[in-house]
Chain A
């Protein structure tokens, strides 16, 4: 084993609903250039490129090959990763493995989603095509008002069941979901790379947004965003020469569970709020990072929250607080940028969701907090160790990355 650190982060200039001024490879190129500018490296310094994108959303099956020149990858190994919402973090983990194995020294992770060119609902349905087709053959109306439509809405349909189950277990109410959504929108207003921003957001304002499916309101739901993110990793030896400030990777882990929704053919469908894979992945990541008490040792957390209640639910599941405690921390203001346990100073996925980038952005935002480069969204407390969480797959895959301000003792 050897240490690996993040030496450069690059975002495309803005994350918005529609980037009509650039095509996919051009948008990717913007983020690559930003990452090179951030760490002073150039194409000649990169050994390999990992590319992350969920192709069903755009219908472009080989975007990494389309963009190979735009990401300056000619003549280099290029690998594409697609694991749903976790895509960006799985790509990051792949880059980490490339370096920790000793095979490569400097690896670039390139991720994007350009939702405006595709169809997110079809993309979400497309992840289970054979099962979806079989369900329709058996008489289930996936999309309309006639039957079990809630499970046909991809994550947005099944997520309502998750939210109710979590509220039942934790004692939280819809008012807490309004409050965390408002916090994320306010945080997003400080982040130049966030999509939905509202410096004046209040729980009352969120509560006025239309109810889609109880308890999920319009104000609780992520947007579909166009955006690209790039992250450059290097071995300890190289990192020391490249950058003054490095965010070191202390532990990575991923875990899949049984399909909690969608897999009618062979699955045991149970509680969508159980998310046991998250508990397992977090424990494994803590073990690898040598963290005994995350509540005391982790200073900052980025949660993948496609839907606002997930910030609170996953804080509990990664062990940053007890079950039923997250909404109380929220009430006390502890999750704010100025708080004791700041979470999602970036505004989270609920404010910005270019899916291929979303789980990587959790990692890069933790890295920027550790490096002290988060600008207006820099949290008040010092960040020595941070946890990034990614949620994806068929709602049943979770990735965790733990970063720190010093190399790990090997």
Chain B
């Protein structure tokens, strides 16, 4: 069968400049500096978001009430990762989870430092903060069992 000719393509045509609403994530990162979780609460329905949007997804009203959220929470779902995004084996299996922090409605994803055998839905965890926090996602070093 006659093969088609393959032309190799590589995209580097331009730089894109996306505008995003970053107030919620900035509030969260500011909180990280003090080792605190800061979200936004809807004054109408009481929903607490982390990071906070500046409108309520349920009520469709503008919201702007910052709330401090506990850095202790419950594992709602988890995985133990053996391969990376390209399918290459990880040096060590990595446990990660979606955690619902106490008083918050959003679930937050992160690495859990625990034995893969111990992770389970309902497990209580807390944030292990870096010693020096700078207002960056890396400040949240991991979730660890309570």
Binding site for B on A (CB under 8 A): 20-23, 26, 59, 121, 129-131, 133-135, 138-140, 142-145, 147-153, 157, 160-162, 164-165, 168, 210-216, 258, 261, 264-273
Contacts and interface: CB of A to CB of B under 8 A. Distances in A.
Contacts of A152: 85
A164 B20 contact: no
Contacts of B98: 161, 269, 272
Contacts of B11: 59
A344 B101 CA distance: 39
Nearest to B81: A213
B118 interface: no
A265 B121 CA distance: 26
Nearest to A130: B18
Interface string B45-87: 0010101011001000000000000000000111111111111
Contacts of B110: 147-148
A213 B9 CA distance: 31
Nearest to B95: A214
A22 B5 CA distance: 9
A258 B57 contact: yes
B59 to A, nearest CB: 12
5 contacts: A121-B86, A129-B18, A215-B79, A267-B57, A271-B76
Contact of A165 (B47, B76, B84, B90): B76
Given A131-B20, A139-B138, A148 B82 contact: no
A121 B29 CA distance: 28
B107 to A, nearest CB: 5
Given A145-B91, A147-B111, A270-B107, 12 more contacts: A139-B136, A144-B85, A149-B81, A149-B96, A150-B96, A150-B109, A211-B82, A212-B81, A261-B109, A266-B53, A268-B105, A271-B76
Contacts of B82: 210-214
B144 interface: no
A270 B105 contact: yes
A264 B4 contact: no
